[in-house]
Amino acid sequence: MSASTETGREPGRARVDRWRTSAEVLAEVRRTPGLTRVELARRLALSSASVTETVTRLRGTGWLCEHRAPVQGRGRPTTSLDPAPDGPRVVAVDLRHEDWRVGLAGLDGEVTGVVGARHDRDPARVTTALRDAVATVAGGHRAVAVGLAAPAPVSADGLVRATELAWEAVDLGSVTACLGPGPVPLRVGNDATLAGVAEARTGAAAGAATAVYLTVEVGLGGTLLLDGLPHLGAHGAAGEYGHLPFGDPAQRCACGATGCWGPEVDGRGLARRLGDPVPDDPRSYAGDVLARAAGGDAAAADAVGVAAAALARGIAGVVHVHDPDVVVLGGLARGLRAAPGFDDAYVGALMAFRRDHPVPVLDAVHGDAGALHGAAALALDHATSPEGLAERSGE
């Protein structure tokens, strides 16, 4: 997750600083659409004079619009601030192993006009297809940034190294080429990370200062979200929760370590418990087992119960380390949470002082649109930052 543009012009502090309050206002409106001017002034400790000035500017640049707020009691009615329906847009891209989706979002983060297609994994052809789709989706609107979710680790320079696609350091910078005028910034993030971002902004963890997002697909991954921002680590490799050694030390993981948590709770773990060979597609295998367990298959239910308990026990450990406001589960983890025994295993694995008020473990609400929503949020973060606003202020 990183910027692909770098502004190098020197003194520049005032040029960016000018937009700091505007950026805070936009962030507040994103967090709470329909906010009143009075409430905004209170939250940002601004005088009404300053609110007038800043809101006027943001209406002028097209970001905000105002509505009469419903009257409550005496006094002059205040107005509420909302994302302008015809304001600047960002393009969100979700690149997956076999297909991609592209959509358009405004300040409210709603992704609309989604188009998609399958792809053949050839970097050049995928890049071209995405560039065209981005241009089409943006058509007519003022697109000010692009966010992209990639099914792979993303290094600090924004390059994508997708081993499963056999991509080595692919630079996706050109997908913004048909936008403009002027260069349009691209921000790239990992798909699981961005799904976590989506949950932390508008999903099950909305408003949480500290949230943990965990998802089970093939293996287990996740993100620590601090005030809605993912912790990426020194090299962008943070969040490998699936390789915490919570499991059986005798089991060797494909990652090279032993006793990893991930392979105990995904399709491979279920297969081992059921005596099946390692499945080719652990994702759909696990879906089948969950369905059989729900349908009354005792052996499947037993295997699911073991995996659910392993998931629950590990989540407790993660809670001890992060002390989050909430843990959000995506992918197959939702099915495991629904298994009988999960809650008891979770509470039982918590430290005693936590058991009266266990940290809630909730299902993700964005489903498989999480990465796309997170990509939109990432692009909006840039576009509404002081730097992003300053970049475009000349227009």
Minimum CB–partner distance for residue 68 and DNA (Å): 6
Q: Please select the residue that binds a second copy; options are 65, 69, 238, 365, rule is CB under 8 A.
A: 238
d(CA 100, CA 120): 11
Q: Report the residue number, 76 or 357, with the smaller CB distance to DNA.
A: 76
Q: Which of residues 196-225 bind a second copy (CB under 8 A)?
A: 208-210, 224
SS3 state of residue 377: helix
Q: Please select the residue that binds a second copy; options are 352, 356, 394, 395, rule is CB under 8 A.
A: 352
DSSP letter for each residue of 111-126: EEEEEEEE----HHHH
Minimum CB–partner distance for residue 222 and a second copy (Å): 8
- Interaction between residue 12 and a second copy (CB under 8 A): yes
Nearest to 196, CA basis, from 142, 243, 241, 251: 241
Q: Are strands 79-83 and 89-95 parallel, antiparallel or unpaired?
A: unpaired
d(CA 125, CA 119): 8
Q: For tokens 């709470």, name the residue.
A: 32
Choose the contact partner of 78 out of a second copy, DNA, none; CB within 5 to 8 A by kind. DNA
Q: Please select the residue that binds a second copy; options are 109, 203, 236, 374, rule is CB under 8 A.
A: 236
Q: Report the residue number, 273 or 313, with the smaller CB distance to a second copy.
A: 313
- DSSP alpha helix (H) spans, the chain: 13-17, 20-31, 37-44, 48-60, 123-138, 191-202, 262-265, 267-274, 282-294, 298-322, 333-337, 342-349, 370-383, 386-392
Minimum CB–partner distance for residue 383 and DNA (Å): 18
- Which of these segments, 89-97, 174-182, 187-195, 346-354, binds a second copy (CB under 8 A)? 346-354
Q: Report the residue number, 183 or 245, with the smaller CB distance to a second copy.
A: 245
d(CA 242, CA 251): 14
- Which of these segments, 65-73, 112-120, 189-197, 244-252, binds a second copy (CB under 8 A)? 244-252
Q: Which of residues 281-320 bind a second copy (CB under 8 A)?
A: 313-314, 316-317, 320
C-alpha dist (Å) from residue 165 to 119, 154, 168, 176, 194: 11, 14, 9, 22, 19
Q: Please select the residue that binds a second copy; options are 117, 257, 278, 299, rule is CB under 8 A.
A: 257
Minimum CB–partner distance for residue 78 and DNA (Å): 4
Residues that bind DNA (CB under 7 A): 11-15, 17-18, 20-21, 36-38, 41, 45-55, 57, 68, 71, 73-79
